[in-house]
Amino acid sequence: MAAGATTVLAASVLNSAMASSIKPAPDVPEKTSADGGYDTIIIGGGMAGATAARELGTRGKKCLVLEARNRTGGRTFTTEVFGERADVGGQWIHWIQPHVWAEMQRYGLQLLETPGASPTAYGVVVNGKLEPFDPAKAFELLNLGMQVFSKDVIDLFPRPYDPNFNPDSLKTDNISIAQRMKQINVSDETRAILESYFTTAVNGPIEQAGYLDQIHWYARAGNDMDRLLRACTQYKISTGTSSLIELLFRDSRAEVKLNTPVQKVEQSSRGVKVTAENGKTYFAKSCIVALPMNCWNDIEWLPALSPGKVAASKERHVGSGFELKVKVKGNKGSYQGMASSGYPINLVYTDYISDHHTKFVAMGYSVPGFDVNDDDNVREAFTRLLPGAEIMESFAYDWNSDPYSKGTWCDYKPGMWSKYGEDMRKDEGRVVFAGSDIANGWRGFIDGAIETGLRASRIVLKQLG
């Protein structure tokens, strides 16, 4: 690539230049050991942790937030890309997502539209070859395909934010997306478009992804494919996700300790003692754990966590990929290209257009032989979906290699919801769990993280009295 590739793996952990501007509240003194100075310790400074901190702080509770990285934001991350601020983690939001939209209105944040969500040109790999489609025709095939895919189970979630309302909702939890695709009869073109969509949606192989989760996605958008796509890809916060994080922490008045991974959590009748990897200990009356489920087992818990939490964390969710930002020479217009499981890049679409260059977002997951750090690998995979593109620069963030996420957004594997779902959401005494991975609504989205931060804070407020 002309200017070479910039790759961020776990660099957000190490590079202090990328740290959030969040600072501890100046009038909140540090309280360590078993001095009872905090009402709540929050482990994890992402959207769920920040929301919980705001809710508790505005009600007069003293909170300490322990964040392993050198920045807040969790699986949202606003950093410098091609000389400008940009998001390289969770970023897309929509007004049908009630919790994040409420925060947008509360703080007066504005939207930024992604051009590629409404493409004027579209291509998808069909039987190994990139085929051009009229975007309207491609959507028609996707929409009809989704209706076939969800036939007979479209009413499983009459109340999408209460997924257990229907006692039959888990009856298809043992089926993978790939298994369901084998059961349906659609054209090769429709199959390619559907499989490409699902591979992007789960950010991993569809052979490992649960059918039920995608039915729940569909239900959250009112079984409307156009609405679902727009909720996933069209709108971002114009000032970046970091602006919302900063506002939440500003209002929380919480003390925030960066570069502080947690080693052990012990609870007793007196409260919760948290030991950091640096040996420092902190004590509070309660604790909120706002970490990705893939990281739960990295902490020693006394007493032990519920068996379902342990098993789910060991098994991990499906999302296991990366996000690429690619700057291409020339005006390429509003374009979207897709490929299914087995291809290293599953989605390429326009993020910004100028007369001289076009910026693209690309998403994929690790497949054998592909290295997101290798310029030649990236060029080959990217131009497979946008032939002839002359790449000027690229930027990669490999969330799978980030030790404090160990993956991207959450999509459950077959059987995971029914086997572990109850335990994953269960409170552990004075320790309450939050995070997008256990949301009842928009799981895997910013909205789901905020939902669980609100829920956790309500439970802790009741505990604190």
Q: Are residues 273 and 343 in the same domain?
A: no
Closest CA to 141 of 430, 338, 303, 427: 338
DSSP H or E stretch at residue 99 = helix 98-107
Q: Are residues 45 and 183 in the same domain?
A: no
Residue 102 lies in a domain: yes
First to last CA, the chain: 59
Q: What is the reported pLDDT for 441?
A: 98
416 in Cβ contact with 27 (< 8 Å): no
Q: What is the reported pLDDT for 25?
A: 35
Question: 181 is in which domain, residue-wise?
Answer: 135-229
d(CA 69, CA 402): 10
Q: What's the pLDDT tens digit per position in 399-451?
A: 999 999 999 999 999 999 999 999 999 999 999 999 999 999 999 999 999 99
CB atoms within 10 A of CB 57: 23
Place of tokens 């893939």: 294
Q: Are residues 433 and 443 in the same domain?
A: yes
Q: Are residues 25 and 151 in the same domain?
A: no
Residue 4 lies in a domain: no
Helical ranges in 316-445 per DSSP H: 375-385, 416-425
User: What single-letter amino acid sits at 438?
Assistant: I
User: What single-letter amino acid sits at 410?
Assistant: C
Helical ranges in 340-374 per DSSP H: none
Q: Are residues 342 and 361 in the same domain?
A: yes
**Which parts of the chain register pLDDT below 70?**
1-36
Residue 125 lies in a domain: no
Q: Are residues 93 and 204 in the same domain?
A: no
Q: Are residues 305 and 422 in the same domain?
A: yes
Q: What is the reported pLDDT for 373?
A: 87
d(CA 65, CA 257): 6
- Which residue, 349, 371, 401, sits at the end of a domain? 401
Pairing between β-strand 345-353 and β-strand 121-126 as defined by DSSP bridges? unpaired
CB atoms within 10 A of CB 352: 18
Q: What is the reported pLDDT for 28?
A: 34
365 in Cβ contact with 203 (< 8 Å): yes
SS3 116: helix
Dihedral in degrees, nearest 10, Cα atoms 71, 74, 75, 77? -30
d(CA 67, CA 418): 31
d(CA 176, CA 330): 41
Q: Are residues 139 and 216 in the same domain?
A: yes
Q: Are residues 290 and 183 in the same domain?
A: no
Residue 1 lies in a domain: no
Count the domains in the chain: 3
Residue 125, phi-psi category: left (phi > 0), alpha (psi -120 to 50), beta (remainder): beta
138 in Cβ contact with 163 (< 8 Å): no
Residue 269 lies in a domain: yes
Q: What is the reported pLDDT for 2?
A: 38
Q: What is the reported pLDDT for 36?
A: 52
- CATH number, domain with residue 81: 3.30.519
Q: Are residues 143 and 277 in the same domain?
A: no
- Which residue, 381, 401, 421, sits at the end of a domain? 401
Closest CA to 329 of 384, 392, 378, 385: 392
Q: What is the reported pLDDT for 69?
A: 98
